[in-house]
Structure 1
Amino acid sequence: MLVIFNIILVVLLIWAAVHDLRTRLIPNRIPALIVLLFLPAALLGYVPQWSTHLLVFGIVFAITATAFALGWMGGGDAKLIPAITLWAGPQHLVLFLLAMALAGGLVAATMLVLRKKSQNTPLGPTGGQDPAAAQDGSAAAYTPSVPYAVAIAIGGGVFLIQPVLNAFGAVLWPVIGNGV
Structure 2
Amino acid sequence: MGRYFWLLFALLAGRFGIAQSADSSMAITFTGAINLPLAMKPMHALAMEAWKVSFGREPGAAIVLNDADKGVLEATAHFNYRSAKLNGREETMGRVSYRVRIRSENGTCSVGVTQFKHQGNKAALRGGIDLGLVTVSGPPLGRTPGLSPWGAKNILAKVRARSRSTADRVIRAFVAAMQATASDR
What's the TM-score, normalizing by structure 1? 0.28
- Bigger radius of gyration: 2
The structure that is helix-richer by fraction is 1
The structure that is strand-richer by fraction is 2
If asked which structure has higher relative contact order (CA below 8 Å, sep 6+), I would say 1
